[in-house]
Structures are given as structure tokens and as C-alpha cells.
Structure 1
């Protein structure tokens, strides 16, 4: 009797992937990077605990595709971070994984050579190297946790993590967030509702046990203690922004009802700017105005920013790529970024130190 094959019917290959420990051995953590990570996490926790009155801002390219331009941006951002550090805490947005609505480039880890070769093994090593370089510049890093295995490879180099609008409702991502070593921002759903984010924060604050991998790459049962630093990120959705005063107030009430800290981060991009980078400065100005007028819940903001404004398609000839310009969502330019953040600092430098936390 012939036994029919019942598994791997649509798998055409299973290539070797180095374990997290092997990748970390190739790109080991340094003392300088460790100090940046730990100080970044401590500062973010202090802001969320209302022990530090500053506003934190996650700012950087929609996605990393060119590590040279990315590091160029990081060095500029570090100088600006030092300049504004009395009022703003800047964290560099370092996104390697891109959730696609249908198809498209999935990011630097998945396809580092942007040619559909999908050298994930090399992409992971390159991503870790880039994070190490940015942390050694002295900038803490933020990323989106999309693949549940990826944090084992570079989570030691991350200070802040986002759970995206498409995955905030996912049990897998809520369990993962419960074990992450960073504060975690849950974005509202693509329809604009807060339920997935609120429930995600509650879930991630509790203990979980789930299937994953350990440092040796072996299957393991991961048991977590729960993450107490979950918070909501308003990114708009359902055909409307949600950074306005009414939307923020509704978010405060939803958090209070769930007995959660009223910590709100506003994403100036995505649906809040109708994916038009020209509107990001207007969103930030509105948020800054709300804080000046008495808002006590907004603790952070997110900005999609790169060296050059806008975005570009990925050409067949990669030598034709425009330096420092996004290949995913459109960004504001470096000059606009500087203007946005300096303006925010000028207005908030006397307001934030006197702001009290929500009741």
C-alpha cells in the first residue's frame, strides 16, 4: 500500500536559518550599544510612569532599505536629539518588516537585496548590524514586531516596540508583546476602532505560555511575566484621523474604563495624515497645541521622516535609487523634520515640566 504525502504539499524548499545565538555571535552586543539600549528603555519607562515630563518621539524612515543612508540619517538625528533633549526624547524609527496588503517588498530582513532573492539569513544579520551601528551612535531604536521569531535575533537592541494596526488583534502578537523587554505601543485598528489596542494592552500585561524558539533555534515553550508598559497609539483609520481633541479624549475614557494608564501616542503619519507627508507637520502642531492647552495624556508622537521628502518605486536597476528617499510610505524631508521638532520643543519646553498626570 502506498502512503500518500499529507504535508509540505506547497513547500518547495526549507533552507537553513542560523539560530539567534549564531547571528548574535556574528554581530555581538557592545558596551556602548548596551548602554544606549538600557538608557533608552529607562527613559521611556520614566515617561510612561510620569517620572520624566518629556515627550518621546519615534522618528525615522518608513522602512530601512539602504543602511548607508540610514546611518547618515541616524547621525543627523543624534545631533538633533542632543539639542532638544531637555524637552523631547528622540527614538529612531528602524523598521525592517513591512506588512503588505497584498504583495510588494516585504522589507530589509526578508529581501535585503531587493531582487526577490529572499536571503532572510543575510537580511537578519544585516539588520542586526544596522541596529548595532545606530545604538553605537547613541540613538535608541524603535521597530515594529511583525514576525514573532524575529525579536529573538535583535530584541536586545530595541528600546521601543510597536504592534501594528493589522496585528494588534492577533493573539500571537499579544503573547509576544507580553514577553518583550521594551515598552510596547499597540496601534488602533485599520477601521479606527480602539478595541483591539485596548484589549491588546490588557492581554500583554498578563502572563502567557506559548510556542516559540530559544537562543539555539530549538522549539521552546516560552513563559512570560507580562509587560506593564503597554500603551495605545492613535494612527487614524476607517476614513478619518483620530488625533483631534475629541478622539484623544475618547481614548482617555476607553483607557480609564479598562483601568489602564492614560498614556497616548499619536502617529502623525498613516491615516492621521491621509498618507500625505505634507500633513504630518499639521498633525504634530495640533498635538502640541493640545498639550499646551492642558492635555495630560499624550506622552509621545511618531513621524515618518527621511533625508529626502516623498517616496520612490524600486527600480530594476538599483543604482537608480534616489539616496535617502523612502521606498515604502512617503516621508517628510530632513529639513522639515528639524523644523517640526524644534517648533514642538520651543512651545513645550515650559509647558511639559508643569504638566501633571491624568487622574
Structure 2
């Protein structure tokens, strides 16, 4: 009976085949910028030919690095798993992490207390090299804890406090909401409602500020009964629109802070016999696939979600690899994508 003895391939074997020093192979595995692209390609080809897979765990132990990034979700798991914003931002993070050979470690607590406990374990147990917070809210003890422990982290969104001390990737949400509201004003709408997300999230606060600024600059009074908050879910949109349309003088247009909420708004309006855009116009946020396939397709503010995630991962890794990396505020541009959910205001008196 013939047997095959498999010998494990070493860095020395790869170095010999690629005609380089073993230290060069190690640097290629670490993706060192000191090694030329040509040499990297030659070494990687030798690794492929020999079936060599670097022992990342051993490497991590040697460098005191885990080559992993912790992802901190909002406390509502419903919002995370149902809202298309999160898969889109995760794709961006994943791409940025993959380019530098970092793995992702997800914090899975269901309540704020569980999440905080997971973060403490993650930091004290040296399970990851840094963390990305996929949200920004008022009074966040996770941010305080990470700062106190001088643990590398990046926030997606604008931090509620200490903005100058925390690297964050964000849109200009005040400007974006202002642009969306101004578009509705340009169509002749004056009774414009705002359907926002959780009022404790900084993104909700900033979008509401932009909405109010646009109305004030147009010389209009901000009507508090036109401002409703809910979760970034279909149900959030349904509950909000039911309340708004029951007013004695309901709005003729809405700025809705999220596409999934907008879907709930449209569904509810349909059951009430109110047509979009003939009876009411909608400008939404995020420009995910839902916006394109809804009926009618939504006018939506594209906030380039993938780029938010990619830049967060890229800048966290820079921070991990160089503790002296300066604090940065990275603003991702937005764009109003006009579709069929808006129409010029028609007076009932006409």
C-alpha cells in the first residue's frame, strides 16, 4: 500500500522558490509598503504554487495584534437586521478590512447593557485591535469607555461630544436634509412634514436641524405637529404617517429620514387611499435598492453608504498601525436622486 507523506511548506521554501530572503516573504505577508509590487506578486505566486498559507494566529501572537476589528451595532437588533443601510455599510467595512487582511468581529448583545459588557470583554481580552461604532448617539458610555482606555476606534456619524478628539466618518446631514426640504419648497410645498428616526441618534437630530433651517430660510414657521419620530423600520413609517394624516391640516409633502421608513409611509398611504405623488410628495434618505423598486420609485438622498463603511475601516486601520495618526473628520458627499415620488403642489381650491 502506497502512502503519501505531506510535508508542511515553510517560509524558507517560499523564499527559495521566489528567490528572495525569508524576511522578504514575512514582509509580503504583512503587506509592508517597503516591498515593491513586483516582488509581492512574485512571492504570492510562489506561495500559491506551494500551497503555503501563512499562520496568521502565530503572526498575531508575535506582533501582539489580532488583525481583527470589532463592530459595534445599535442596540436595536431589529433595525440592524431589517434595514438595508447596515448590509451596505458592512460591505464597505468588509472591503476596507479585507484589503489590509483584517477580520471582523461582531458585537452581538441585544440590550445596551449587554453590548457594553461585550465591549469591555473585547477590549480587556485583547480580542480586537480596534472598533467601529456603526451609529452615534447622545450620552454613549461605550465612547467614554473606549476613550478612557485609549482604545483605537472610529465612529460612523458625528460624535455627540468631543468631536475634535474622535475620528469619524459622516455626511453633512444638516446640509443633506436642507437640500431635500428645499427641493420640496421649490415644487411649491409649504406644509412639509418630517419623519425622523430615534431622537437620541445624532443623525436624526442633524437631519431635523437641516429641515428646520430650510423652512426658516423660506420664511415659514416650523410646526411641531409636523415632526414625528419612529424606528428606522417599515412600522416606524406607518405609525408616523397615520398620525400626520389625521391632523386637521395635514402636510402636502414629507421629508423621511430613511428609505425603509418611506416604504412604510407609502404602504400606509395606499391603504388610506392617498396617492404618491398626486396627493403627497416624499423625499427620502439613503438611496438603497428599495428606493428604486418602491412604487412609485423614491426621490432619495444618496449618502454613499458603502463609502462610509470603507473609509471607517481604512482610517481605523491607519490608527491601529500608527497610534500617532491625527484625528480626522471625513465627510462623504451626498446627492439628491430625483425619481417619481414628488410632484408640484396642487391647491385643492384650484
TM-score interval w.r.t. the shorter chain? under 0.3
State the structure with more CA Rg: 2
- Larger proportion of helix: 2
Alignment TM-score, normalising by the size of structure 1: 0.26
Alignment TM-score, normalising by the size of structure 2: 0.26
